[in-house]
């Protein structure tokens, strides 16, 4: 490979501007100690020539890295796609390139991706996927990230992790409480939960919010069906079938993300069960399509793109002594998929 040969180098700009390569470098990077005059001239020349610095040379020479890494479970999942969108938007604005990697919610794979990002000398790593309830799942990653931070890298996570990094926290507990209160207020008592894997902090937190709301109403989640399946549309379908079969008296299903809720609606429609007349369904996240489903989905809106932007903006700040935690809000969006119970 010789992608770099024959392209414009800093020395070309320096010559054209009639200055040394050092001065040209300073002028372009906005370092102090260059006359305003020369700075302008160099920049004009660079612009005219269409010069763009070789990122690798810059980074190798000890300049600031201009790229950040984003780890998602799966970019095809709208939740992560929207987070990525926020990261990309702010990244472009800041002149950063964003490398995105899949983890597939597999800690081993996550570790591999983290290593690759570190080898790429990214300035920061943003971990968007849910944490694991069991801190042990990510000890290796934690160690690697610690070393990365020690050598000047930044790490931020979205969600509750045991990684000791700056975090942007989706309002999972309060959101779970809100949507459960909504169901309770409608009169539901026999509520079933279509939960993604309970090993994920996201699932655990949403469920714990639900438990709080139930507790406040004198109910106990321990007496209600919590079906632990995959955190996907397919999981939502499986959970719903199981709920219909094993707990026929249920009047509402709370899916712990919209994808699962979509799966639930799909099964209910296939079985000719009216929503919300016979069974109410609620989701979580408010992905774009939620409002256009039929019936439109009652759900908890999380500001996904904002989560991404805030995670990146945290990553761009210098580190603090203690990990920062940025809480975000949620909005309960009551639509047509929930209503009073049938009896």
53 interacts with DNA by CB under 7 A: yes
Residue 278 neighbours by CB distance under 10 Å = 14
Beta bridge partners, 282, equal 254, 298
Scanning residues 24 to 43, which ones bind its own copies (CB under 8 A)? none
Within the chain, residue ranges assigned H as helices are 10-17, 21-29, 36-49, 55-60, 78-93, 107-119, 139-150, 172-186, 201-216, 233-246, 258-270, 304-316
CA distances from 284 to 98, 173, 175 (A): 27, 11, 8
7 interacts with DNA by CB under 7 A: yes
82 interacts with its own copies by CB under 8 A: yes
271 interacts with its own copies by CB under 8 A: no
- Residue 233 has which token pair? 């549309």
Residue closer to its own copies, measured from CB, 205 or 258:
258
What does 82 bind: DNA, its own copies, none (CB cut-off 5 to 8 Å by kind)? its own copies
Residue 313: name the closest of 305, 266, 137 by CA: 305
Are 174 and 302 contacting, i.e. CB atoms less than 8 angstroms apart?
no
29 interacts with DNA by CB under 7 A: yes
Pick the binder of DNA from 19, 72, 88, 214 (CB under 7 A): 19
Residue closer to its own copies, measured from CB, 221 or 262:
262
Scanning residues 287 to 326, which ones bind its own copies (CB under 8 A)? 288-289, 291-295, 305
Residue 320 neighbours by CB distance under 10 Å = 9
What does 28 bind: DNA, its own copies, none (CB cut-off 5 to 8 Å by kind)? DNA
Q: Of the listed pieces 67-75, 158-166, 188-196, 239-247, which binds its own copies according to CB under 8 A?
A: 67-75
Report whether the peptide linkage leading into residue 331 is cis, meaning its omega lies within 30 degrees of zero.
no
What is the closest distance, in whole angstroms, from the C-beta atom of residue 306 to its own copies in the complex? 13
150 interacts with DNA by CB under 7 A: no
Residue 264: name the closest of 248, 242, 287 by CA: 242
Pick the binder of its own copies from 39, 208, 266, 328 (CB under 8 A): 266
10 interacts with DNA by CB under 7 A: yes
- Strand pairing class (331-333; 299-301): antiparallel
Tokens 């779970």 — which residue?
176
278 interacts with its own copies by CB under 8 A: no
327 interacts with DNA by CB under 7 A: no
CA distance 67 to 59: 10
Q: Please give the residue ranges that form the binding site for its own copies (CB under 8 A).
A: 1-7, 50, 52-57, 59-60, 62-65, 67, 74-78, 81-82, 84-85, 88-89, 92, 95, 97-102, 113, 115-121, 123, 147-148, 150-153, 233, 262-263, 265-266, 269, 288-289, 291-295, 305
């Amino acid at each position: 490979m010789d992608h770099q040969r024959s392209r414009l180098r800093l020395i070309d700009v320096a010559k054209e501007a009639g200055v040394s390569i050092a001065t040209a470098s300073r002028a372009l990077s906005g370092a102090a100690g260059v006359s305003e005059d020369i700075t302008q001239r160099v920049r004009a020349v660079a612009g005219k020539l269409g010069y763009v610095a070789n990122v690798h040379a810059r980074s190798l020479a000890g300049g600031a890295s201009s790229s950040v890494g984003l780890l998602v479970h799966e970019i095809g999942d709208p939740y992560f796609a929207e987070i990525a969108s926020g990261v990309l938007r702010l990244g472009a604005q800041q002149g950063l390139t964003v490398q995105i990697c899949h983890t597939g919610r597999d800690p081993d794979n996550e570790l591999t991706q983290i290593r690759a990002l570190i080898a790429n000398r990214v300035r920061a790593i943003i971990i968007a996927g849910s944490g694991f309830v069991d801190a042990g799942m990510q000890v290796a990653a934690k160690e690697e990230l610690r070393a990365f931070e020690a050598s000047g890298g930044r790490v931020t996570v979205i969600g509750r992790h045991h990684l000791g990094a700056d975090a942007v926290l989706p309002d999972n507990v309060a959101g779970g409480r809100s949507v459960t209160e909504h169901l309770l207020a409608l009169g539901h008592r026999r509520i079933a939960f279509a939960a993604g894997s309970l090993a994920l902090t996201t699932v655990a937190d949403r469920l714990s919010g639900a438990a709080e709301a139930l507790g406040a109403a004198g109910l106990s989640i321990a007496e209600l069906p919590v079906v632990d399946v995959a955190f996907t549309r397919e999981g939502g379908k499986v959970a719903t079938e199981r709920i219909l079969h094993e707990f026929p008296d249920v009047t509402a299903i709370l899916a712990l993300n919209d994808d699962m809720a979509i799966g639930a609606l799909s099964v209910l429609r296939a079985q000719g069960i009216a929503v919300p007349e016979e069974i109410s369904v609620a989701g979580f996240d408010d992905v774009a399509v939620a409002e256009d489903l039929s019936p439109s989905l009652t759900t908890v809106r999380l500001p996904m793109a904002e989560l991404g932007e805030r995670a990146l903006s945290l990553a761009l700040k210098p580190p603090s002594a203690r990990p920062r935690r940025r809480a975000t809000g949620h909005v309960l969006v009551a639509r047509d998929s929930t209503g009073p119970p049938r009896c």
